[in-house]
Chain A
């Protein structure tokens, strides 16, 4: 019962966002989250304003794909890449085409509302979904590795649907 309600709320939020033309990826469109981690890839999303960004670097990647362009988000228990995810991954693939020697890791994650082992499997499934789409648009499979963190590395720290929606993700990180 409760999960249905939550799912319903999530759908409502998602559809509101869609109506606003932002899509579910634009988490800025959602109410602000109380707590947010400040480590890992997000720490580099607002690099100091310098002209020192090295082409092909992680900073360059993040600047090219834009805010949250390094990740796709998933519904509860799902791992499918929808059209919105595809456009995110296409931008990533374009960048990767410019730097053919750069390799990436796709990190798969789950929200805290799953059991540990299942979430490890689910994270791996999500990372592979992103990987497979990147391959389908021309990225060489040998350049992509995956890793699942299950529910071990949440991005948003709340225990609410908004936080969980941000945590169900596959994040592309360049290997430098």
Chain B
């Protein structure tokens, strides 16, 4: 995969989307160590930005879910695809503030073949009420882990539960890379 070109393609729109008051922004490779170090910075920055406690917790939680999704699922991986620990994969994440609301955005390339499945899952989440989301969390906690999931299939549900609006998402095609699309996800908290 031609990494620099892909990253140029999708970091431009990502930067435009981040032109609010940016609290935290990172583009690059994500590993567990990178995420743990970012977690420190994010916590402190949210505190210094005057965000209240409950909102900080929700932002932090969704930030971790997004960052770990990049570690697990980005199609741009430095480590072999079948390795399931100490992974390092490429993506970006941005926390910003706009008119009193906090926006969390992330982006990473994915295989075009998995986009449809993601679209279905996210689309169905968008139509659910908070109570239905909580019920779905309870059910998937008791269910077997879905195939292809490295977590518990609970990541999107957790983000949806903590968001004040339905999760937004889109898939950007990449010129010259028909097998890859950029997955953008946005949570409003």
Q: Do A and B bind each other?
A: no
Interface of A toward B, CB cutoff 8 Å = none
